Structure 1
């Protein structure tokens, strides 16, 4: 099937846009997860950064709505990334970054504009060789991004000799970059200056490399413009490779369209909210009749009025005291609680149910699965995913210390929308047996789930203190044995289904529902292309198949090719937030996991050789 794409064009004045051809295109979904605002993108042999929302060529009201998510993120709606067809150029704007380029033949290292070449032709003006964008950039954990300071890196040995510095000023210096080819390390990349200075890039990636040179963050925000710097940033600069994943981490929030927001009538009302909200009943009835919603007898004026009032209630509801603010996990927030209740309830398939159909399996074929309480077949669902912000150097955690690390998407405060996509698919929802789960959590001793999970909690709290910049601050990790168990179970089933029914693991996604009263997981199609519409996921939720898949998944993860090191590890994964979990057994593609492949431990599912009683599912289940 055809993939909707966004055209990418340079951020130029309006009078020039008509003459600008798009530089390339990316899929709409990539504008949320991979090439969103503030991320770097390679187009041909050039490098650009995606501009802020202020430059997007969009007009009018937002074209995508999900009331619960709008209320949570305090916006008026969402917009699909522009999908303008070439050669209109009315797409997502980009700016050249980094601006420092090098020529492999003459080895000059200088700004792109100084090579005497056209913007559309990335070749050296003297030797006509293709130019190469700077391999290195600098960033800080507050989201700032800047050019690598080659001149200062090269001349750091001059110390405070003022006369020597005046003899070679940055604007007059002629730098060159050559790769000696004798080694693949940074030692083989050498920077020289016509003043005689020479230095390799060895040591550039050290945590204190910029501090040792007294190079401070200048608050660069090139995605918002050259003049959009923030002053007085005291964060430590880190050197990153231009294509590093640490250069951009998206903060994506999502919600499912559930009753009453899933049906056709509510979609009509949300599309005309400016005409209907806070109006009297007579006016609402007139608009409904004018739009033709009452002609076929499917809806009455009372139905429309009820839908309008429900939408008004959400718009005026206060977003304060969301459970996520306490637990720091999205899996327990108010949106998830509402979804959990609806997923546990039957929603029959009717013509008006456009975006949500959830039914139990055929009772005649029902099979008891030890440890599983309820299974629901989600035959139709719609998820809206919105890019709220992003971070650099390290991904965001849901903690107070990380709130100032979230980088906004626009320079102006007048932007009241966020970029988003919608995914329509299917899935399987299952909950664990609460009685058995409570007894498992309450077990004590050296081999208890709580004792083992405590290792992850300690590492998480250490990470939170480091993020806060104070190792003595009191923090409390929200990680529980229940959360780790459900998260690991979701990974095990996704890996099993990818082998059993032909889905690539990257096309499936988990959605966790965890707190003291919730213990469920939704596994569903996570992509809007052909891999997300094969139609086989719901079939995996039939009790017989689910029981077989669960047994096979547990057997598969009972042994890892990295054992015994994997099973006996005291810490593994990013920031040591996993235990028995690695790429050979339980990790998933990053598009499938909600929390960056962290808080995983397959020992909670199957036990360990020393503590078999640790497992939630018995070996003979």
Structure 2
């Protein structure tokens, strides 16, 4: 990562801009640039703190050799972009990388206790030390943010001079200097005290600064600061929302909005990539002759794809258009994308002649799948080749993007771009479905319905609490079917991590739970040595799968925290789980689509008082 220049760049003797020579400030993996340290997030490097810059200069600063273009038409259409780009590699030989800016600017010196902007300490070039004491400066532990996604410095001047009788416009003009010290009496915020040398105020502790209305009481509102786009960048539309104080390392400071898609035929062989920038125009035509004329002009000659193949791709895209809405919303279109994946995973592509470029190979196992019928499992498929593209769409602060229909997502750039940063994973997986008739009968039982409603109500309360307007909270996806599939995926991942030698963090779930879907895809979530070695696919053969499921169900029947775990009426985050804990079914966060919530072992195996509650209760009784 490299910070942008602090002043106007000079020009060489020939008038051209000289090559960049910014200092390196650390390294991050490509996956982290999407999931952890994406645009707008804060990152600590040694004793310094930075914010990852926006993408406005990325077209120039991201080397094409280290940040290749990635195509995935289905996801690109959903996110309204032409293509994606991998974040630049961070190697010793890298020419450039992610740009960062110093933030927060307020620093303190542990020796002289001064609290002021970084530049006022007069540090030597390239170092973050006090020019007087020559000790490392400490970035401000506190920042402020609003629910619209803006981020700003903590208002220390206003916090110290916080008498309501003072004129807010005059605060900060007292002529004094701020100081911060730690009393050492406790480890709480009470021990952090801030003072001003003007002598007009007493020392003020930081206790109470995290209260929801702490800054509102000071008549402070958000000014729309966007430091990842520039130190002076503010939202042109303004803001005015209430501010909340946060610790710099809090997870609420930055939450990514990620969307992903599997590459499925006919888009999975890469032949459609040259047409990436032309699909919106091609969709305007229905007549093949008109399409042929457009392609001839667009490519100034012969199109890379024959016309019949282009027509087939257009037909496949129109099949994925959501039905029933003139202008379908984003969530509706995303469900349509998942529905198409489910159909392709069910049907597979056994009879197609796979080319070397084919990135989706899904075949029926050689064994007899009927041996899985006693388990209520049907349609296992071996996904021998799989490609997933995960894109960073935007980010939020304070508010979970999944909790409200009116989420305020912050853009990754100041000007609209026709691409987004993304990563791709190539691996393998196993897909299986539950028997629809048996599942329907199980869902309608009174005990199952009541337990599912208990979880749905708890989750809905959490969503309403996280949403700025409870009336706009999204409906909870918790249903007995969804919780059953989710818990089944977790116990299978745990079992395969033991039996097949996969680290649980290298496996990932993808759930297909709806009225017309009941499937689970477990696949490799990393592209390292555990990504595509064939070991996971081998577990999908009916004989091995039967043994794995039975073993996983028996293992889930007992938890080292029982009876406490099984009898819990609320567990997990805000009571959104029932019989689930880290000793039985919870996974690393990277493996779970739902952050380890909406899990319940009882819907798998039943309870000691009611074994029939579990979908697989009969398996344990046999």
TM-score range, shorter chain: 0.7 to 0.9
Aligned to 2:15: none
Counterpart secondary structure, 1:494:
helix
Q: Distance in 2 between matches of 1:538 and 1:393?
A: 40
Aligned to 1:261: 267
Q: Distance in 2 between matches of 1:84 and 1:274?
A: 34
1:79 aligned to which of 68, 75, 85: 85
Q: Distance in 1 between matches of 2:477 and 2:26?
A: 43
Residue 479 of structure 1: CA displacement? 2.4
Counterpart secondary structure, 1:265:
coil
Q: Distance in 2 between matches of 1:506 and 1:484?
A: 21
Aligned to 1:296: none
Provide closer, same or farther for how the CA distance between residues 145 and 432 of structure 1 changes in structure 2, counting only shifts above 3 A. Answer: same
Q: Distance in 2 between matches of 1:208 and 1:582?
A: 35
> What is the total number of aligned residue pairs between the two structures?
595
- The Cα RMSD (Å) is 3.4
- Structure 1 position 421 matched with structure 2 position 423: yes
TM-score, normalised to structure 1, is 0.86
> Are 2:63 and 2:95, in contact at CA under 8 Å, matched by a contact in 1?
no
Residue 234 of structure 1: CA displacement? 4.5
Counterpart secondary structure, 2:271:
helix
> Are 1:67 and 1:311, in contact at CA under 8 Å, matched by a contact in 2?
no
Residue 109 of structure 1: CA displacement? 1.3
Counterpart secondary structure, 1:344:
helix
Q: Distance in 1 between matches of 2:185 and 2:84?
A: 52
- Structure 1 position 391 matched with structure 2 position 422: no
Q: Deviations over 1:318-347 (max 9, x none)?
A: 966689x99997897111111111111232
Q: Distance in 1 between matches of 2:329 and 2:615?
A: 24
Residue 377 of structure 1: CA displacement? 0.7
Q: Distance in 2 between matches of 1:75 and 1:282?
A: 21
User: Which of 256-265 and 573-582 deviates more?
Assistant: 573-582
- Structure 1 position 354 matched with structure 2 position 358: yes
Q: Distance in 1 between matches of 2:149 and 2:546?
A: 46
> Are 1:71 and 1:315, in contact at CA under 8 Å, matched by a contact in 2?
no
Provide closer, same or farther for how the CA distance between residues 170 and 609 of structure 1 changes in structure 2, counting only shifts above 3 A. Answer: farther
Q: How does 1:370-381 map to 2 (within 5 A)?
A: 370-381=375-386
Residue 148 of structure 1: CA displacement? 1.5
Provide closer, same or farther for how the CA distance between residues 322 and 43 of structure 1 changes in structure 2, counting only shifts above 3 A. Answer: farther
Q: Deviations over 1:501-520 (max 9, x none)?
A: 22222211111111111100
Q: Distance in 2 between matches of 1:327 and 1:289?
A: 38
Counterpart secondary structure, 1:91:
coil
Residue 141 of structure 1: CA displacement? 2.1
Residue 388 of structure 1: CA displacement? 0.6
> Are 2:322 and 2:328, in contact at CA under 8 Å, matched by a contact in 1?
no
Counterpart secondary structure, 2:27:
strand
Residue 225 of structure 1: CA displacement? 1.8
1:169 aligned to which of 168, 172, 175: 172
Residue 398 of structure 1: CA displacement? 6.1
Q: Distance in 2 between matches of 1:315 and 1:364?
A: 34
Q: Distance in 2 between matches of 1:137 and 1:452?
A: 41
User: Which of 492-501 and 416-425 deviates more?
Assistant: 492-501
Aligned to 2:147: 141
- Structure 1 position 10 matched with structure 2 position 15: no
Q: Deviations over 1:3-42 (max 9, x none)?
A: xxxx444355555762323323211111111111111111
Q: Distance in 2 between matches of 1:381 and 1:142?
A: 37
Q: How does 1:30-109 map to 2 (within 5 A)?
A: 30-56=32-58, 57-58=61-62, 63-83=69-89, 89-109=95-115
> Are 1:210 and 1:238, in contact at CA under 8 Å, matched by a contact in 2?
yes
Aligned to 1:334: 336
Q: Distance in 2 between matches of 1:566 and 1:410?
A: 46
Q: Distance in 2 between matches of 1:228 and 1:494?
A: 45
Provide closer, same or farther for how the CA distance between residues 494 and 430 of structure 1 changes in structure 2, counting only shifts above 3 A. Answer: same
In structure 1, runs of 5+ residues without a counterpart are: 1-6, 294-302
Aligned to 1:117: 123
Q: How does 1:497-508 map to 2 (within 5 A)?
A: 497-508=496-507
Q: Distance in 2 between matches of 1:120 and 1:263?
A: 47
> Are 1:71 and 1:314, in contact at CA under 8 Å, matched by a contact in 2?
no
Counterpart secondary structure, 1:555:
helix
> Are 2:222 and 2:242, in contact at CA under 8 Å, matched by a contact in 1?
yes
Counterpart secondary structure, 1:461:
helix
- Structure 1 position 620 matched with structure 2 position 621: yes
Residue 467 of structure 1: CA displacement? 4.8
Q: Deviations over 1:537-585 (max 9, x none)?
A: 1122122222222222222332333333333333333343222222222
Q: Distance in 2 between matches of 1:72 and 1:329?
A: 10
Provide closer, same or farther for how the CA distance between residues 510 and 150 of structure 1 changes in structure 2, counting only shifts above 3 A. Answer: same
Provide closer, same or farther for how the CA distance between residues 213 and 569 of structure 1 changes in structure 2, counting only shifts above 3 A. Answer: farther
Aligned to 1:540: 539
> Are 1:72 and 1:319, in contact at CA under 8 Å, matched by a contact in 2?
no
1:249 aligned to which of 252, 255, 276: 255
Aligned to 2:594: 595
Q: Distance in 1 between matches of 2:219 and 2:279?
A: 54
Q: Distance in 2 between matches of 1:22 and 1:39?
A: 18
Q: Deviations over 1:201-250 (max 9, x none)?
A: 22333333323333322222111123332355344322222112221111
Counterpart secondary structure, 1:101:
strand
TM-score, normalised to structure 2, is 0.86
